[in-house]
Chain A
């Protein structure tokens, strides 16, 4: 067992006013802009060392865009992401290479995450090879190490992705994220494409890795039970904004925001005798191109008041570690 490093007080990641708008274009050469998709609309959060932040919400809420902003797959329209106090989008050269060894990712679809033409060991070692000088031997040793960490046999290294099942491919993807010894792994729906019984395997693996390798996770997911099992803190997103965030236990025991309540009520318990206090929302999820004014949730909110359509509510801390953006509070 590794000796636990003392956990620094300053969070690993800090996002401030993070915003991403995509222009909607028309015209022969994509010239005119006719609108904006406000995918992420000014969010702020932190991820501590050895901590998992869960990001939940439904389609269009902006959680995937947020994860892409953290990974530098998108440039923010406004706001910034800080790693150890430095703006990640301003990094260049050697600093950028170091960033890539510190922040990695695992995506949802195991069938699309691995290059079918590369042997498993090449995929796994890529972050290492591209960002650091490693000898061939050093590379192979590291590949073996991480294969062991994710519970795959060493013989996997020389094989091709098509020889593996979905669950095994996700393990390979995880190994490839671990190879450069990152501090943060962005997990975008890591288990939703897997069979139910395999999900438990992978979730347990993630928990173990976090403890042993001292990792932080940003867990983007729509399955609330999964998030509860792994995340220390959770933030709920709706149409590009964070509507509530709290310590996971606090959030799940006492959801405050009406949307959070609706979300929780929609997570059907595996118990036929559970009380059915459904909060069925009316209408469809509005489009991020033309979000409702004021509080984005007001058209579907059973508790909407007059000011909800005019004024956007601020995130207010209710108790230590539990904040909500709602005029009810």
Chain B
């Protein structure tokens, strides 16, 4: 076990200590972000089991029941716990199915965008030179695109739908990942074990796979979690603007948009999905912060 004193010493001179998985002491359990865990778990659970949990079909209209307020308000009923919208559709069920949409879009976009960004970042950082310069200029260009505008353009040209949104978001986020991953790759590349791998006779491919990628994964995972919130909001914004998931499939952003004209009278139409967005994004951000602190030994208290 590397001596505690050596770690303390290393902390005072500019630290080059690699990411180390140190011993985890007992007191840590209290510092876990329980609330975030719970919210995320609930969302995933709900999204996955939507058909079993939702009290009604999200698309079933019932005009006589339209614009009912939530159950705890006057005029509300237990039949529609969170009220109904302008077409009499149950808000709770729409919320539950909307969770599915958000989660699927987020997962696809993050995996695709994150995956592309990871590969570009690694290749660019490791190979350096002209390849690096070129790829980073492409990244710079991509980062200057106004997010929503590009997404709208894509939606208009490719037509609305889950696919379009996924593509739009992928195009938007890969560059962020590429940039950060490249930075990490440069730092890892400078460490002696990479030079030693070359001395051992490793091919570039082996070095990237065995030495670079595993040491960049921590940062990558944190980046992923921190982007979930962003992606959910982009999807919601696009749907809000009408360029996202087409109705009748419920999407939280679309629900917020639909409720706009009734804000004064039927506030729950916008507020409920809006609150859901806020809670989930907050939960993912807190989780991402915690994950980053947990994985980064330098931020840990001595």
Contacts and interface: CB of A to CB of B under 8 A. Distances in A.
- The answer to whether A and B touch in the complex, with CB atoms under 8 Å apart, is yes
A16 interface: no
A103 B200 CA distance: 9
Contacts of A117: 214-215
B52 interface: no
B2 A164 contact: yes
What class of interface size applies to chain B in its complex with A? 20 to 34
A130 B200 contact: yes
A69 B133 CA distance: 26
A244 to B, nearest CB: 29
A77 B63 CA distance: 83
B193 A113 contact: yes
Interface stretch (B10-18, B153-161, B220-228, B272-280): B10-18
Given A96-B201, A109-B192, A131-B201, A162 B6 contact: no
B210 interface: yes
A130 B129 CA distance: 26
Contact of A112 (B130, B191, B197, B210): B191
A127 interface: yes
B10 A30 contact: no
B191 A126 contact: no
B2 A118 contact: no
Nearest to B190: A112
Consensus secondary structure, chain B interface: helix
Interface in B200-247: 200-203, 206, 210-211, 214-215
A319 B272 CA distance: 93
Given A116-B18, A164-B2, A111 B10 contact: yes
A166 B201 CA distance: 25
Contacts of B3: 165
A104 B196 CA distance: 8
A115 B215 contact: yes
B260 interface: no
B198 A73 contact: yes
* Interface-centre pick from B10, B19, B133, B202 (highest chain A CB count, 10 A): B202
A115 B19 contact: no
A252 interface: no
Nearest to B18: A116
Listed from nearest, the 10 A-B pairs whose CB atoms lie closest are A100-B201, A162-B20, A117-B214, A127-B200, A112-B192, A116-B18, A113-B192, A115-B193, A107-B192, A126-B200
